[in-house]
């Protein structure tokens, strides 16, 4: 499907009360870039006993808001077939499949079955683990039941240590999704990546710089009083500020200027040089294999490998490169070298 960029979805993590919803809807209706209001109705909580969403009561409040603001579109998360049924009964305009649901193909199957035969717009968040195939699998299950209006939402990945983020962005994963599904709109959810409101604006800009298609942002009229995700929600006024300063980049670079064309020519030349050097290196590896065989030496020589890595890391630093990147690169090169020697 095609969306106008940037496609902005904004709204509270959870619907908490009639007043809270009415206040945020009234504010968001005045933000021209906002195309849809997000609002959590059923909340997946890590621990039991917390606020788990208002359920059907929230849907009643949403239906009231829809009647009062016919131009505003609403979406909520669904995680069970019963959620789908209720959300449709109350006239939701779109649904999303949350990260924890995407991780479980059995549940995705049940949820999508409940959508069979409808024309519902569905957004699929990535699973907490950085597995692009799991993400694509959930989208495929949506397509299997005939859904056509699909979008992906990148909300970061819950790894063991996430640094400054609640969920690590690992931008390479949405980039891979874009490569595999070039027609699929991808939104970024900077709120769940950040976990704190001061990082939301810069993450939103990074998503735009990468050419993603829009944002899903958590917006609450009084963020500090929010019953869920208080630390990461921003006010409607703050959202307006984020959107005002957001620079949206063109995704089609074929129209780009002469300078970019020349720089890309340089990149192509350097890449062919790198590949030529790699091929020459592998030829030497073939000769080494014969020498080791003749000398009855094991293919893998841990001391030599350790020394080589240390030297390459130092060389990387001397050239102003990240030594971790160079180490990863040489791990790949070394793995291929071992393979070649075993084949010899």
Judged by the rule CB under 5 A, the positions of this chain that interact with Mn ion are: 13, 229
Instruction: Name residue, tokens 């968001």.
Output: 28
| Min separation Cβ 324 and ligand PEP, Å | 28
Judged by CB under 6 A, the chain residues 187 through 226 that form the site for ligand PEP are 192
Does position 44 interact with ligand PEP (CB under 6 A)? The reply is yes
Q: Pick from 8, 10, 13, 147 the residue near ligand PEP by CB under 6 A.
A: 13
Does position 83 interact with ligand PEP (CB under 6 A)? The reply is no
Q: Pick from 125, 141, 154, 197 the residue near ligand PEP by CB under 6 A.
A: 125
The packing angle between helices 323-343 and 258-294, to 10°, is 50
Closest Cα to residue 197, out of 170, 172, 220? 220
Q: What number of residues does the chain have? A: 344
Torsions phi, psi of 262, nearest 5?
Answer: -65, -40
Closest to ligand PEP by CB, 44 or 81: 44
Task: Name the helix (H) or strand (E) containing 11.
Answer: strand 7-11
| Min separation Cβ 192 and Mn ion, Å | 6
For residue 217, give the 3-state DSSP assignment: strand
Q: Pick from 6, 11, 53, 98 the residue near ligand PEP by CB under 6 A.
A: 98
How distant, in Å, are the alpha carbons of 270, 326, 335, 337 from that of 332? 19, 10, 5, 9
Residue 227: count of CB within 10 angstroms of its CB: 20
Does position 99 interact with ligand PEP (CB under 6 A)? The reply is yes
Q: Pick from 40, 185, 221, 223 the residue near ligand PEP by CB under 6 A.
A: 40
Closest to ligand PEP by CB, 141 or 192: 192
Handedness of CA 30, 35, 41, 46 (dihedral sign): negative
| Min separation Cβ 230 and ligand PEP, Å | 12
| Min separation Cβ 216 and ligand PEP, Å | 7
The answer to whether the CB of 150 falls within 8 A of the CB of 124 is yes
For ligand PEP, the binding residues (CB under 6 A) are 13, 40, 44, 98-99, 125, 155, 192
């Amino acid at each position: 499907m095609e969306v106008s960029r940037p496609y902005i979805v904004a709204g509270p993590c959870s619907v908490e009360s009639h007043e809270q919803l009415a206040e945020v809807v009234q504010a968001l209706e005045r933000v021209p870039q906002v195309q849809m209001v997000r609002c959590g109705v059923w909340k997946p909580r890590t621990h039991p006993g917390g606020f788990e969403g208002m359920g059907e009561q929230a849907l009643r409040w949403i239906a009231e808001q829809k009647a009062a603001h016919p131009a505003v579109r609403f979406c909520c998360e669904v995680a069970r077939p019963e959620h789908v049924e209720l959300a449709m009964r109350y006239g939701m305009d779109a649904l999303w499949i949350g990260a924890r649901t995407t991780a479980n193909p059995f549940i995705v199957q049940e949820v999508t079955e409940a959508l069979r035969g409808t024309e519902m717009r569905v957004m699929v968040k990535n699973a907490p683990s950085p597995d692009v195939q799991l993400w694509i699998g959930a989208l495929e299950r949506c397509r299997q039941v005939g859904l056509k209006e699909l979008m992906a939402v990148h909300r970061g990945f819950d790894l063991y240590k996430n640094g400054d983020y609640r969920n690590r962005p690992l931008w390479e994963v949405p980039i891979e999704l874009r490569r595999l599904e070039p027609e699929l709109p991808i939104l970024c959810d900077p709120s769940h990546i950040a976990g704190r409101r001061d990082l939301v604006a810069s993450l939103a800009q990074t998503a735009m710089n990468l050419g993603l298609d829009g944002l899903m942002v958590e917006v609450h009229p009084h963020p500090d009083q929010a019953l869920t995700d208080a630390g990461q929600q921003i006010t409607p006024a703050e959202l307006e500020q984020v959107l005002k300063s957001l620079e949206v980049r063109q995704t089609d670079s074929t129209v780009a200027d002469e300078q970019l064309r020349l720089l890309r020519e340089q990149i192509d030349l350097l890449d062919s040089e790198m590949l030529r050097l790699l091929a020459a290196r592998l030829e030497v590896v073939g000769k080494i294999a014969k020498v080791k065989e003749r000398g009855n030496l094991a293919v893998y020589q841990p001391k030599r490998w350790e020394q080589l890595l240390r030297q390459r890391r130092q060389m990387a630093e001397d050239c102003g490169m990240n030594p971790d990147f160079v180490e990863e690169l040489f791990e790949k090169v070394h793995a291929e070298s071992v393979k070649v020697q075993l084949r010899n």
